Chain A
């Protein structure tokens, strides 16, 4: 059993919770490869995907995860719902609750929106990305991918690179990998590095190369192009020159280092196409882990005991 009713982030998750989710996800992975991708585990349960922001992989993988476990999944997108009529998040939550749903997967542009929703619902709330706060299932799928390749997470050096300030993926990964015994380094342009990040359990490297050097895991973050309008870096060209990851920079990491990216990738900006499609890249494996991890989370939060 998980120690919590909702999955709002990894800040307050225990190491045991994370291990339970990863182990459960491992056991679900083979379902995805079956010819008939359906087990009856969550039959009769209903999951709503409440997406206030555009998303391809997260929403699709949550939807598939629910369907593979036989849950009924409903997609709610803000552009075609009462949100357009000005309905508040709280009222939407109440409305859905009365329809008898068991879990809500929420993606929202406001930090804290998932937690806010959990105050107003009895159903399990799963955070699929809240503003610039957390994105716990992304971190879990990253950990699952790395653990599968490396056998363990303990003692690995993990470099998280790019726009840390605006990245919910970075926050969840810092908490997650640090709890699992990794040395987490962060680096990026100073204008995209939040204050006192070290208090979260990451080491702030002085530059990109220092973070990458000797790393087992190199994780590039997506540059949110809308940030560029705010002038946080001069141009994509200059970003890729000084802060992008290319073959040369990746070669500073261990020879068997893994390259991760939460997607979608701006090819040639955060990472070069060459390494994205190269042997060290596990970007496609991440997607598959995503479905397994989300199956595990849905299962554990909607009644399953796990393992």
Chain B
């Protein structure tokens, strides 16, 4: 089966391409990316006016399966990913039971191949039971297909365990992903420590809570020579620490979420539980530093931390509400509107942080458009305006602070291995595109 995706603006940061090209897909793989391709008998999609990139990669999602299927499962999570333009995701192991052994990794992969429509890469636990005491069988899990290791929301607090885990995982060429949080400083915290926490009478989470752990992990990475990835960093201090570490050649990488780049602590005012997340939303000054970090390469990737919760877990008193928001279906629109649209990053750089860079960190063969690679492709309209409607999400989660926001730009078609897994329902917006 041959398909020609014609006349799209092809952006492939990994090969420094940003121009109108045709892409030929044959039997699920990319066969050619050239100025003009014409082959008789091939199906042709005219994508003029649209942008075509390698499929987006989200290196931090929660698909909740097994254990919390009422929040999300691999099927709905992967549909949500496809609708957001993502073709690969790395899903965190904070399930019940947690993904802390090879059998669980196999289980996630089996479920994903049965009901998932995007590539679901399991992240295994660093410690058995995610309890932060003994190392989990990372070798077994790596062999079974775990792309990275993380204890997710229960960061590896014990410095000795973290040091051993970094050394051990590096032998299997796997990165440790850490959520940076010093437990003593977190202590019941609800939102950023600052004026808003003072005003609302909510326990604050100081920036130092994150930064101390960022510093520790950088030091341990230097000590062991192993790679470490610090996820969803949120403060100016974290950016500065990582920038300095990278300048010294320490193998640290990091990501930031769209919401930490756009919203400040004020989003919580009125006890809005849909703006409650961990790490918390910070300040304008932190946002400026994060944007600067994106620009100068300190921050490698944009990841959503897609964290679906049920209505009952958010429609409660603020301190009883779960942390986290869904992100897959709003990420691209938010990045195009508020990061690219405000000239904070070029579109090509933004795409790099959502494709080639996370692929490299996770060591997966994705994130670039090249002959012979699987045809994981995202087609987006970067000009179309749309209104976020949480009730139309394909995710089970409705917990978003962006409901009702007007955004510019979204995925209109997502292809995994040459198969179209999502096409925008409002096809009247794209009358010239024949999906």
Contact = CB atoms under 8 A, between A and B. Distances in A.
Interface stretch (B131-139, B195-203, B345-353): B195-203
B271 A115 contact: yes
A111 B199 contact: no
8 contacts: A88-B312, A89-B316, A111-B202, A116-B316, A194-B198, A195-B195, A195-B198, A199-B199
Interface stretch (B140-148, B317-325, B371-379): B317-325
Given A113-B317, A195-B195, 8 more contacts: A110-B319, A111-B202, A112-B201, A116-B271, A130-B201, A168-B201, A195-B193, A196-B198
Nearest to A113: B317
Interface string A88-123: 111000000000000000001011110110000000
Interface in B176-232: 187, 193-195, 197-204
A222 to B, nearest CB: 15
Given A131-B201, A132-B201, A195-B204, A112 B318 contact: yes
B228 to A, nearest CB: 30
B315 interface: yes
Interface string A217-244: 0000000000000100000000000000
B270 interface: yes
A11 interface: yes
A205 interface: no
Given A89-B316, A199-B195, A134 B270 contact: no
A200 interface: yes
A115 B202 contact: no
A294 interface: no
A196 B198 CA distance: 7
A115 B320 CA distance: 14
B315 A90 contact: yes
A130 B319 CA distance: 11
Interface in B269-322: 270-271, 312, 315-320
B317 A112 contact: yes
A90 B194 contact: no
Contacts, number: 65
Contact of A197 (B187, B198, B271, B319): B198
Nearest to A116: B317
A197 B315 CA distance: 29
Contacts of A116: 271, 316-318
Nearest to B204: A195
A88 B319 contact: no
A269 B320 CA distance: 32
Interface string B42-86: 000000000000000000000000000000000000000000000
Closest 6 CB pairs of A and B: A133-B201, A112-B271, A110-B317, A132-B201, A194-B198, A196-B195
Nearest to B206: A195
Contacts of A200: 198-199
B201 A195 contact: no
Interface in B323-351: none
A171 B317 contact: no
A131 B199 CA distance: 12
Interface of B: 187, 193-195, 197-204, 270-271, 312, 315-320
B320 A110 contact: yes
A108 B318 CA distance: 12
Contact of B318 (A110, A168, A171, A197): A110
Contacts of B199: 11, 171, 199-200
A199 B197 CA distance: 12
Given A196-B194, A199-B195, A111 B320 contact: no
Contacts of B200: 111-112, 133
Which of B197, B204, B270, B318 has the most A CB atoms < 10 Å from its CB? B318
Contacts of A132: 201-203
A11 B204 CA distance: 20
Contacts of B197: 194-195
Nearest to A117: B317
Contact of A111 (B187, B195, B315, B319): B319
B318 A90 contact: no
A219 to B, nearest CB: 18
A199 B198 CA distance: 9
A11 B269 CA distance: 12
Contacts of A230: 187
Contact of A90 (B195, B316, B319): B316
Contacts of A108: 317
Nearest to B317: A110
Contacts of A11: 199
Interface string A159-183: 0000000001001000000000000
Given A88-B316, A89-B317, A116-B318, A111 B194 contact: no
Contacts of B194: 195-196
Contacts of B270: 115
Contacts of B204: 194-195
A112 B199 CA distance: 11
Contacts of A113: 317
Contacts of B318: 110-112, 116
B315 to A, nearest CB: 7
A134 B200 CA distance: 8
Contacts of A199: 195, 198-199
A299 B59 CA distance: 57
A90 B314 CA distance: 12
Contacts of A90: 315-316
Contacts of A131: 201-202, 319
B258 to A, nearest CB: 26
Nearest to A130: B201
A111 B199 CA distance: 10
A66 B193 CA distance: 39
Which of A110, A112, A116, A197 has the most B CB atoms < 10 Å from its CB? A112
B193 A171 contact: no
A200 B316 CA distance: 27
A230 B202 CA distance: 16
A213 to B, nearest CB: 24
